Amino acid sequence: MSNTLSDELYMRRALELAEKGRYTARPNPKVGCVLVRENTIIGEGWHIRAGTPHAEINALYQAGSLAHGSTAYVTLEPCAHHGKTPPCCDALINAGVNRVVIASEDPYPQVNGKGIECLRKAGINVEVGLMRKEAEELNCGFLSRVRRGRPWVRAKIGMSLDGRTALADGRSKWITSAKSREDVHQWRLSSCAILTGIGTVLADNPQLTARTSHDTGLAPLRVILDSQLRIPLEANVLDKIAPTLIVHRSEAEEIKLPSHINRMSIDTCNNQINLKKVLEDLGNRGINDVFVEAGSVLTGSLLKKGLIDELLVYISPRLLGDQARPMIANVYPESLELSPYFKLVEIVQIDTDIRLRFLPIS
């Protein structure tokens, strides 16, 4: 096998390992590491949870003394600073690794090239960029927060064949299948936060929790946009099952909420919450990605402001008719050329439904 093919094989395995941290690594990035010596994998590791050893350390522990003279395949630049754990660069150097292949640089200010520089100064051959696209897609949320100062925003929409999300009276339970709803819970669990508006809370009284077979102990933050604090005290999102953040305008600060509920005051314009400011604040709180489960108005507002990074659309094989509610509201392009345009990146059949994943084309 050529060096290029073998490098890709081992890096692909490192990416598979990184994916194992999908539900538990946040707010840290998902990272995988494979150690190879004489064309044999001698150690594997991934970052399991914030505050625990990084992927490189876990792989080195498995390899033991065999790590000397090996090649390390890492999906993200090894850290070179003391955080909750010691620097991974030092561990790789001390173990005698003589080559490190890195998929993507880490833009986090305390790393940002320092790990690569540290390894090269120690005489280690460092190569960067193999399968960069795949590695960055895996950590789109973390990279968005570090590079743009706001989380990656993934909007979920469940709709009929004719693009409707609810009957004319607002009823929408259930357009999609039970299997699709199970899939949604997996996406919820892999997200740092779930965002909705007060309209959805008043209409459906959702729990907005991730109910899956995975017991991670990490419940996503529920974020409710409620400018006038109309939320009923008996609403499910005010329970203690998962943390909740209520975002409201400053004039509503005097309204009391249960003591365990977090709240954020945001200035409004025409009674509309500044969505960009909300996302920036969530980024400051360490939120990598936001899973939007909202009505057509809030989803439309995010879309108009260019704040949706990904659409996750579940299509049910049913028709609701032209009186039913649309998937997006208040978006009025003046021409086809000016209409929001997306690229299809994934299609999956789930029971009777189809799940489509789109990225915007600017």
Asked whether residue 84 carries a pLDDT value surpassing 70, the answer given is no
> 183 is written with which tokens?
């899939």
Catalytic residue among 56, 105, 293, 310: 56
**pLDDT tens, position by position, 187-228:** 999 999 999 999 889 988 999 998 876 667 788 999 999 988
Residue 184: CB partners within 8 Å, gap ≥ 6?
156, 158, 293, 314
Contact 135, 103 (CB under 8 A): yes
DSSP-based three-state secondary structure for 41: strand
Residue 193 CA: distances (Å) to CA of 50, 85, 189, 207, 208: 17, 25, 9, 13, 10
Note if 19 is an active site residue: no
pTM over 0.85: yes
**pLDDT tens, position by position, 17-59:** 999 999 999 999 999 999 999 999 999 999 999 889 999 999 9
Give the pLDDT band of residue 145 (cuts 50, 70, 90): very high
